[in-house]
Every structure is written in C-alpha cells, then in structure tokens.
Amino acid sequence: MTKLTENNSDIGATEQLAAHPPKLSTQIDEKKSLPAPNIVPDGVSPPIQHPLDPLNADEINLTTRLLLASSKFQKYMRIIAITPNEPDNKQSVVNYKSKDQLQRRATATVRDPKGRTTYEFVVDLTNKTVEKCTEFNNAQPGLTFDEMIESDDLLRENKDLLAAFAKRNIKMDDVVFYPFSSGYRDETDLSSKRRIYRPYAAIRKHPEDNYYAHHIDGLVITVDLDSFEVEVEDHAIIPIPPKSGNYDPEGIKSPDNVPYFPDGIRKDLKPFIITQPEGPSFQIDGYQISWQKWRIRVGFNVREGLTMNMVEYFDQNRYRPIFYRAAISEMWVPYGDGSPAHNFKNAFDVGEVGIGILTNSLVLGCDCLGEIRYLDGIVNNNQGQALLLKNAICIHEEDVGLLWKHTEFVEQRVQCRRSRRLVISSMITVGNYEYGLYWYFYQDGTIQFEGKLSGSIAPGAYETGKPPVSGGIVAEGLYGPHHQHFFNMRIDWMLDGMKNSLVEVNCEPIPKGPQNPAGNAWIAQETILKTVGEARRLHDDKKGRCWKIINSQSKNHVNQPVAYKIIPSGPPCYPLCDEDSCQGRRGVFARNHIWATQYHPEELYAAGLFPNQSPGDDGIVAYSEKHKNESLVDSDLVTWYTFGVTHIVRPEDWPIMPIETCGFRLKPYGFFAGSPALDVPPPVAKECHGGTCLKH
C-alpha cells in the first residue's frame, strides 16, 4: 500500500463535550430505551475503568462527532471501523492505578467512495481532538453490512443478471444474494482501481428454506461498492440442485429433504441441567475477570472481536504475568475448487470484514450452558453510530473430567481431583460459516484456545455425470468445494516480565554407542531462535517439535529459566494451493506455523492492515523481512502462531456441519515449583452421584 499524506496537526476537530456521569453497571443501561435497531445513544454506557477497556458507546459516538467536525471528512464518506488505539507504552498500562488519568484514543478507518481513497484518523478522546490523518491511495478497508445491503436492490435491477436468470428459468423474486469477498484474481482487482465484492445467488423456495441447497452456479457477479456498478460473467448453465437441505425440526421430516428423518427429532433425550447453587466461582469487575488464581482482562473490538489482555496467575504471593495481549490477527479460508465460479474464493475474515462486527448476540439459544454471565460488545455502523451487540461474550465454568488421580498400590489409598476450567467465548457468523472462539483457563496453569467450526458449506452445483474434481458430493446436484481454514494468533508475551526469548525443542535419538548402549535413549534438544529471520518455523511431528517462551532472567527452583510451551491441539495444517498462485501469494502467513518479532505497536495483523483486494505484500511476511536481523534474545517478544483445519467435504457435513475443532495449548514448563493443581480441594462424594470418586 502507499501512504500519500500524513498530517500530525490538529485538523480543526476540537470539540468541548460534557462528560457523562459514571454508571455502576458493567453493561448498557437498558432502562433507557435504545433507538432502533441496537443504536446506542450517549449517556447509557458503563464508565471506562482501565486503558485496555473496549471503546464504549460514548467514545464511538464522540469519535464520529470529531470526524464530522474535521475538514478532512466529508459527510458522504463511510466510517468502516472505529477501534481502540491502545497505548504504545505497555509498561504504563501495567503500572496503571485507578487514580491515574486515563488517556484514551481511537482509530477510525474511513472510505471515500468518490475519491476512491481510504483514510485512517487517530482521535484523542481525552482531549477531544483529531490527532492525525493518514491517506492511502491503494488500500481497501473491510467490507460492511451497510454497503452490501445497499447493493441488493442494484443487483435485482441489473439487466445482465435478469437475463442470466431468465436463461435458467429463475424468477428474481425467488433469488437470495449472499455475500462473499472478492479475493484477488488479477490486476483488475487491485484495490486502487475499485472496491468490490462477489456475491453468490441461490433460490429460496419458502421463507424458512435453506437457500444454500439451491445454489445457482456458473455465475461470477462483481459489485463495485464505490460506483455501484455490476459485472456479470456467465460461464455455464448448471441445473439448480433440487433437494431441500433444511435443518429445523419440521423441515427434516420432509421426504424431499437431505437428510430425511421421517420421525422428526429424537424423543429419548433426558434433561441435562447444570446448576451452581452458590453461583459461579469467578468475579467480574468491569472487563476484568478473576477465577482460581487467574486474572484476565477481556477486550473486544470490531476487527479482532474477543481479545485476552494482561493474563496473570497468582503464585508465590503475587500475580505473575504470562502474556500482555492475545488476539486472532487473521483467519484465511482458501478454497480448492478450480472452476471459474469458485477459484477466486479465499476469504480473510478478520481483515476483509471484521470478526467483531460478525459476533453473535447470545440472547437466544444454548451456545453456553450453566451459570452464565455475559459482557456486551459495542461496534459501529457506516454512519459511525455505536451499535450494541448484546451478550457478545459468554463467561462460565465447565467440569472437564479428571484433573489428576493416583492410587497407592500397597495401601490402596486413592486421591483424585476434578478439573474445572473457566471458559470465555464468543460466536461469530461469517456468511455460511459459524466459528466459536473459546479461551479456556485451567487449574493447572494451562491456557487453551479452541476454534469450533460449524455452519453450512459454501456449496457448488454440478451436472449429472460430471462430478466435481475438488469437492465432496452432499446431495443430488450439490457439492461442497474442499477448502482449508487457517487462524493466526498473535501473542504479545510478558512471561514474568517483558524480556523473553523463543526456544525450539526437537526430540532426537542419541546415536547407539557408549552413551546409548541399549539404543533407547533420546534427548529434547533446545535451540534458541536468536533473530527474527531465524524465527520462521514449521512443525515436525517426527521430532515432536514445539516451541517454548522463556525468561532467562527469571529462574525456577531448579535454576532453569521459567517457560511456557506452545502445543498444537491437532495435526498441523499446510497450505495446499500453489505458492505462486493468487491465493498462495495472499496467504503467506500460513507457510510457517510460527513467526516471531519484537513488539512494534503498529504490527497487529498477519495479513497486513488492509488485506481486502490485496495481492499479498503486507503482514507478517513483510514485518519478518523488515526486522530479520533484530535480536529476539531477551526481547519484547511477539509470536504469530498459525493453526487450522483441512476440510475434505463429506455427506455428513450437510446441511449443517457438526463441530470441527482446532487450536493450541499454552502449558507451563518450569514456570511453577511443581504442580500448581495440588491445592485444588477433593470433590464432595455426594456431588459425584454415588460417592465413588473418593474411597480411602
């Protein structure tokens, strides 16, 4: 991308605005009515308590008023995203006390559709000024709902689309358009030339019908969201898949449905009720959660969604920091179907849309089970109005089986402990897919992230006798293109302080000889990755390869550096597209499972600041090359860890995919003086239903 101008002066947006009195609640005051739909006015937000608190509605609305007063901003411009601009000085945040003055900033990403230009405004919320404006002439910010909704009428009136549907005997009234990002096919898609997305079309036979079952294939529709021009490519007329794919209790009883359940839903499932008569064991103070020696600050923003901040564990009579911040920096979904209507599909869900704005409001349903507490999320629309995502973040506890157990053989004494974990989660919907984003904190000091994938496949249609080459058939005339899901988790470490190092561990056999006469011995060989250039690594299952974050200046009771280890929760995922393809050049971050850099506050996203319509020249690959000679030894360390799923579509994935998981664990490795779980109390026999858990 090219930065055209950078103006650090006050841009005439100073505005004196009265402060609102603080509220005691940690959520929106709903006793004061909200404008429709979910727009949050001033004066109902909880007070800001900490520099890392998410932006509240008052701050988002203030940001918009300051933009409107700026000479650089025009009223026709679209406010794409308003996100927290967190302090660069992390030590000042760590040292923050409630009596200290809060310095709050926001970054507003703005699109000028007339000038085909993107701006970033930095707003000083404390002093109520626009501090800085940066102009980009060839960068596309994420897509927004408002833009895509505006384009729906345009699509329905387009003559080329009407003609294409007429050739297929399709009535426009039966058509549903659903969005998909444009990908990047060639230079005509360059972000400097136009702002595009490529929606798909399907038929909905009735209001409750699953339209993904009746995909209209062979068309590539391109919409320019700046000019609202539409291009239609008609590659082939393929029959519409005839079978239904409904998943509601009534729909599955229809003989036309795939799959078909003539008896409807199961009737032999007994109630399963989780109760905590004394309430949960965690406490929530604003956005800080305390539970079982853990202390965590939760963040939320329109782009990254749920973030974990200042994660600490109480040990040795103090809170010991583990990491400063962790967030999904990017999600990439490259599709493996080579047909012209599908070969451009590779979505960057964080940078092309934003997983915060896509977060579900968990008001209805059973996404979480048990004694639940919630935190709201606040995002913005194209007009810069604050929007409420009610119950965006779910917090609860889960029993997860045994924590530890041992039976003394001679005395036949038994000790066991149940394992409980704190769950902090959110659920997002990205078009056809659902992603559950789950953080788990355990009583033994382990931290886990788990991605739960569900929702519908992004389907294709095929002609009888011409089965798809790169997809799995799920119903008559319908298939799911094979694809992959890559997540990149950026973790800004603070393991017992801000001077950490990255160590690679490989398990290697000792050659048979004097040191290994029986041939059974092996070692865990540790190698410090000394520079940014060295820290571009892949998993090696044969060697049991993993990585440790160490603090060489903090030693444990056996004089070893304290450490945490990164362990994958499933098999490593490798990109299958050609490295020189448009997909391969855009998803470079997935070529390595771990990258590492020093902390640079502006480097947050594995695919770069503006991956939408980007050919792939930004992000961690650029950061790593730029800083390749920087030392990582005793540094302010940031790791970029990539994990994912290779999805070979099967009939059982239709019409809604059962949960598929991926993720990683962070496990203490010499961080504690022995097992930190020994002080977990034994379970009460009556609560184990029958008293079989403890016998002495």
For residues 457 and 197, what is the distance between their CA atoms, to the nearest angstrom?
19
Q: Where are the beta strands (DSSP E) in 154-238?
A: 175-178, 196-197, 200-203, 215-216, 219-224, 229-234
Q: Please state the separation of Cα 420 from the chain's center in Å.
A: 24
Instruction: Report phi then psi at 617, rounded to 5.
Output: -120, 20
For residues 71 and 49, what is the distance between their CA atoms, to the nearest angstrom?
32
600 exposure class (CB count in 10 Å sphere: 0-12, 13-18, 19+): middle
Amino acid 354 reads G
How does 487-501 read in b/e, with b if 16+ C-beta sit within 10 Å?
bbbbbbbbbbbbbbb
Amino acid 578 reads D
Contact 182, 222 (CB under 8 A): yes
* Angle, CA of 399, 403 and 404, to the nearest 5°: 150
User: Considering 349, 376, 496, 636, which one is annotated as catalytic?
Assistant: 349
Q: What is the 3-state secondary structure (H, E, C) of 460-475?
A: EECCCCCCCCCEEEEE
Assess whether 160 carries a catalytic annotation.
Answer: no
Contact 483, 647 (CB under 8 A): yes
For residues 494 and 326, what is the distance between their CA atoms, to the nearest angstrom?
11
Which contiguous run of DSSP H or E holds residue 61? Answer: helix 57-68
Q: Which of 475, 372, 460 is nearest to 422 (CA)?
A: 372
For residues 155 and 287, what is the distance between their CA atoms, to the nearest angstrom?
43
- Total H helices, total E strands in the chain: 7, 34
User: Considering 324, 335, 433, 442, which one is annotated as catalytic?
Assistant: 433
Residue carrying the six token digits 């007329």: 237
For residues 13 and 106, what is the distance between their CA atoms, to the nearest angstrom?
14
SS3 of residue 505 by DSSP: strand
Q: How far is CA 291 from CA 151, 313, 420, in A?
A: 47, 10, 11
Q: Where are the beta strands (DSSP E) in 467-519?
A: 471-475, 478-481, 483-493, 501-509
Assess whether 479 carries a catalytic annotation.
Answer: no
Instruction: Report phi then psi at 231, rounded to 5.
Output: -115, 140
42 exposure class (CB count in 10 Å sphere: 0-12, 13-18, 19+): middle
Contact 680, 403 (CB under 8 A): yes
Structure tokens at 609: 């600041």
Which contiguous run of DSSP H or E holds residue 47? Answer: none
CB count in 10 Å sphere of residue 507 = 14
Structure tokens at 87: 């302090």
Residues involved in catalysis: 349, 433
